[in-house]
Amino acid sequence: MIKVTGKNIERFLHRLVRAHIDLLEVKRPHYNEILLKVNKDELDHIMAIKTIYEIDVVDYYGAIKIKRVTLKNRILIGSICVGLLLLFLLSHVMFQIEIIHNDSELRTMLQQELENVGVKPKAFKKSYHELQKIKKQLLEEHKNELEWLEIEIVGTKYIVRVEERKLNEQKKEIPIRNIVAKKHATIKYIEASRGEIVRELNTYVSPGDVIISGDIKLNEESKNKTGADGKVYGEVWYQTNVELPYEYHEKTYTGKEKTVYTFKFLNQRFEIFNFHPFKQVERKEKKMLSHPLLPIALVKEHQKEVIKKDVTYSEEEALNQAILLAKKKIESKLDKKEYIIGQKNLKVDMRNSKIVVDVFFSVYEDITAYSDIIEEPEKPVEE
């Protein structure tokens, strides 16, 4: 829509008609002013023949208007689009998976299986039919472990309810025995399903001391003998010695391996068709062809890529690293329920090329051991 202003507007209209310009709409709000709706392609032509008349564009229509409005409001429209995309992602991406069961090993196994089929955090939400198919698959693959399984979607979270299958196992006969201490320790936890607890918590015990007795007594008189069953955890003490050089040569395997054929002549080696050699490599050779008199050979090499680096520790860094190594040394011997309670540096010896550290650890550890109760044969009663 253009506005034409000037004297004798009719003359300008005749000029446009003679120029074969399509006038889609004509309005005359004032005697010296007229509004014309024309195609944008003809605007340049109109401007060329306007002479003394003043022409202003006052509005746009159709695709042109949509384009101009879009460009003018591109930031607002872009923000709306990004918001809609985020809304879509937030409503279709799952951020959490909760497996409801008391057994941590079963939860870990089930979480791994679900991740393998795409039921995991930060992944797109599965449909109801897909979840039913996954449920059926898991129940078939783990017939002996799973009795029942249900996967529910609550917002952006999967809630997995599972029932473990209990197989009828033959109960092992427990011999008549006591539970005794395996090593020097202070008792921290006692769990007894059979037998009589004869030691209190925070009591010091030596190896062989009875903690849960299989000899059930009443008023100091033995009434029954059974197989004691349970677990005992105590605080155990260790002293470990670690030596660490200030200059440390570290070698790490990247996991990349390949077979390379090499031609050897004197002390020189030439790899055949190895276009992407490893920068640092460890080789294991096997001779394929060689000459008994000439220093030539064709060798088959099994190469492993390694990363080698030299580390130089300061005294403080060496001490921290030595303590960390000592801690790892102790932790490597512990199971899931055992842990380090505390630690203390007993002796630190800074020598010229290395550091020597004696570290004392107190450890929460399973101290359960067993000792058989030898039943004395009954003496015959003399008449």
Q: In terms of domains, do 347 and 333 share one?
A: yes
Q: In terms of domains, do 55 and 202 share one?
A: no
Rounded distance between C-alpha atoms, residue 138 and residue 161, angstroms: 13
Closest C-alpha among 221, 217, 211, 207 to residue 178? 211
State the total domains in the chain.
4
Q: In terms of domains, do 215 and 318 share one?
A: yes
Single residue among 144, 164, 184 that ends a domain in this structure: 164
What per-residue confidence (pLDDT) applies to 170? 55
In a domain, 80, yes or no: no
Rounded distance between C-alpha atoms, residue 364 and residue 14, angstroms: 104
Single residue among 115, 136, 164 that ends a domain in this structure: 164
Tell me, letter by letter, the H, E, C secondary structure of 203-239: CEECCCCEEEECEEEECCEEEEECECEEEEEEEEEEE
Query: What single DSSP character describes residue 125?
Result: P
Dihedral angle computed from the Cα positions of residues 21, 22, 24 and 26, in that order, rounded to the nearest 10 degrees: 40
What per-residue confidence (pLDDT) applies to 232? 95
In a domain, 123, yes or no: yes
Q: In terms of domains, do 229 and 358 share one?
A: yes
> 3-state class of 47 per DSSP?
helix
Written as tens digits, the pLDDT of the chain (383 aa) is 999 998 888 888 888 888 888 888 888 888 889 999 999 888 888 888 888 889 899 898 888 888 888 888 888 888 888 878 877 776 777 888 888 888 888 888 888 888 888 888 878 888 888 888 888 888 888 888 888 888 888 877 888 888 888 765 555 678 889 999 999 999 999 999 888 899 999 999 999 999 999 888 777 777 788 888 999 999 999 998 888 887 777 788 888 898 888 888 888 888 888 888 888 889 999 888 887 777 888 889 999 999 888 778 788 888 888 888 889 989 988 998 999 999 998 888 887 788 888 999 999 999 999 998 876 655 555 55
Q: In terms of domains, do 29 and 123 share one?
A: no
Cβ atoms of 37 and 21 within 8 Å: the answer is no
User: What is the separation of C-alpha 173 from the centre of its chain, rounded to a whole number of angstroms?
Assistant: 43
Rounded distance between C-alpha atoms, residue 177 and residue 44, angstroms: 108
CATH of the domain at 158: 3.10.20.310
What per-residue confidence (pLDDT) applies to 377? 57
In a domain, 61, yes or no: yes
Q: In terms of domains, do 226 and 319 share one?
A: yes
> 3-state class of 266 per DSSP?
coil
Q: In terms of domains, do 278 and 318 share one?
A: no
Residue 378 tokens read as 């009954």
What per-residue confidence (pLDDT) applies to 174? 83
DSSP string, 342-383: EEEEEEEEE-SSEEEEEEEEEEEEE-EEEEEPPPPPPPPPP-
Q: Which domain holds residue 122?
A: 92-164
Rounded distance between C-alpha atoms, residue 306 and residue 279, angstroms: 8
> 3-state class of 277 per DSSP?
coil
In a domain, 382, yes or no: no
Q: In terms of domains, do 239 and 330 share one?
A: yes
What per-residue confidence (pLDDT) applies to 354? 85
Query: What single DSSP character describes residue 41?
Result: G
How many H helices and E strands in the chain?
A: 7, 24
In a domain, 87, yes or no: no
Q: In terms of domains, do 303 and 319 share one?
A: no
What per-residue confidence (pLDDT) applies to 23? 87
Q: In terms of domains, do 226 and 327 share one?
A: yes
Q: In terms of domains, do 141 and 43 share one?
A: no
In a domain, 81, yes or no: no
> 3-state class of 257 per DSSP?
strand
What per-residue confidence (pLDDT) applies to 205? 94
- Rg, C-alpha atoms of the chain: 43
Q: In terms of domains, do 234 and 179 share one?
A: yes
